Structure 1
Amino acid sequence: MIRVLLADDLQLVRAGLRMLCESAGDVTVVGEAGDGRTAVRLAERLVPDVVLMDLRMPLMDGITATRAITAARPGTRVIALTTFDDDDHVYPPLAAGACGFLVKDTSPGELLDAVRRAAAGEDTYNQDVLRRLVADALRSRAATTPAERDLAKLTDRELDVLALVGAGLSNAEIAERLHLGVTTVKTHLAGLMTKTGCPNRVRLAVFAVRTRIAAP
């Protein structure tokens, strides 16, 4: 059972999120917080798997709360929720340690999928956000990626997985495309990170785009 903590200053929003989460057989809401300070305290006490975190809250904003939660409990995954998806709202929570970003008009199915993916250790950016992160990293050259010669270290299957990461596909989508198990995809991702020196999925996507790996 995936344990979820809801953090939003609007009671009506929390009620809707609770109903949605508890409509799924594999998700349970373990607590609610109306401000960031309470969210940090409850995350420490309740040890949720996933926190759905609003960014604008009283006493402590969602970005500060995200930073505190991920620093104290790295195993707790935080998904940022907000009304806007512009750069001013996307980058701060990700820099604070959130594993993903969703706008509040996300469909119920997409939100539950994001919760499950976060609990499984995956990032939960949608493809539009991932493409922007990659494009901005390329423009700024902020990402420290390995040289193209590192491609020689990769197997053909790892190259296939890398290309699909660069295209923004989730682990489940990659598994379906390549006719693999999700666990096998995760193993390939771990190998890719080790061989390329990329610390996370976004850096792998940047590397795939820079080296122009074509998706199978």
Structure 2
Amino acid sequence: MNEEQPIIKIVIADDHEVFRDGLKLMLSKEKAFSIVAEAENGLELIRLSDETEPDIILTDIKMPKMDGIEATRRIHDQNPSIGVIALSMFNEESLVVDMLEAGALGYLLKSSDKAEIIDAVNTVYHHHPYYCKSTSARLAITITESRFNPYNSGVHSSLFSSKEIEVIRLICEEYSTKEIGDKIFQSMRTVEGYRAKILDKMNARNTAGIVIYAIKHGIYEVKK
């Protein structure tokens, strides 16, 4: 680890001690992370966030005394620089949107692997949104229709070449890399190159990030 790299302070909130312990053990192995507090409900999360001033909060949505949505709303109102990542179950899509609208900047399924959790923490730490790589097409559309919009205003289509725009739209239509290559008469390697450039320009991490960004900025319009 670069000695100049700051330590990312993390608070974990979940009412299940076994889950908290597992997540803490996993993240504690990363030298760039420091778990500064654990909370078992929303009220405790607010108090501990105020006391420890973390960079990142990983929080369950459903908790006793106060849920993650209200806790996130209050924390975000008080200190919007704290990056909140929601931890959800596979069937909580509407609650994920509520979390994002409350001030969370990312979300993960509780079943996410270590690499994705680390990626999410680092992404949100740098103030970019993170969408779980398992995001369904339905949830992506719902997010674009919500009040959640972490992007800067302006004409973003000018950031991309005409070929990149074409690739973005095909990605949004759920074409595979091979299918996109066939449509634009390019190799799969070339398509992957376009995809990498698109991800970089959007500060996105995966397909869900591309789709949500593209729809939010009018690059792609959902057919209804």
Normalising to structure 1: TM-score of the pair? Answer: 0.70
Note if 1:154 corresponds to 2:154: no
The corresponding residue for 2:196 is 177
When residues 56 and 141 of structure 1 are mapped into structure 2, their CA distance, relative to the original with a 3 A threshold, is closer
Q: Deviations over 1:55-114 (max 9, x none)?
A: 111111111101111111110011111223443332211111111111111111111111
- 1:208 maps to 219
Identity rate of aligned residues, in percent?
Answer: 27
Q: Classify 1:22/1:161 alpha carbon distance in 2 versus 1 (closer, same or farther; 3 Å).
A: farther
- 1:52 Cα deviation (Å)? 0.5
Tell me how far apart the structure 1 counterparts of residues 195 and 26 of structure 2 sit (CA, whole Å): 27
Residue in structure 2 matching 1:129, options 111, 131, 135: 135
The within-5 A match list for 1:1-216 is 1-129=7-135, 131-136=137-142, 154-156=158-160, 160=164, 167=171, 177-178=196-197, 185=200, 189=202, 204-206=213-215, 207-210=218-221
Q: How many residues align?
A: 186
Quote how far apart the aligned CAs of 1:128 are: 4.3
In structure 1, stretches of 5+ residues that fail to align are: 145-149, 191-199
Residue by residue over 1:109-135, the C-alpha shift from the partner in whole angstroms, topping out at 9 and shown as x without a partner, is 111111111111111112443743443
- SS of structure 2 residue aligned to 1:78: strand
Q: Mean alpha-carbon deviation: is it higher for 119-128 or for 8-17?
A: 119-128
45 and 26 in structure 1: CA distance in 2 versus 1, 3 angstrom threshold = same
Counterpart Cα distance in 1 of 2:137 and 2:128: 17
Distance in 1 between the 2:193 and 2:79 partners? Answer: 29
SS at match of 2:34: strand
Which segment drifts farther, 89-98 or 24-33?
89-98
Asked if structure 2 preserves the Cα contact closer than 8 Å seen for 1:165 and 1:201, the reply is no
Residue 4 of structure 1: SS of its match in structure 2? strand
Name the amino acid aligned to 1:208. Answer: I
Give 1:16 shift: 0.8
User: Which structure is higher in helix share?
Assistant: 1
In angstroms, what is the RMSD of aligned CA positions? Answer: 3.7
- TM superposition score normalised by structure 2: 0.68
The 1:46–1:158 alpha-carbon spacing in structure 2 relative to 1, beyond 3 Å, is: farther
Check conservation: 1:85, 1:103, Cα contact below 8 A.
no
CA distance in 2, matches of 1:165, 1:114: 25
Distance 1:158 1:36 in 2: 47
3-state secondary structure, aligned to 1:210 = coil
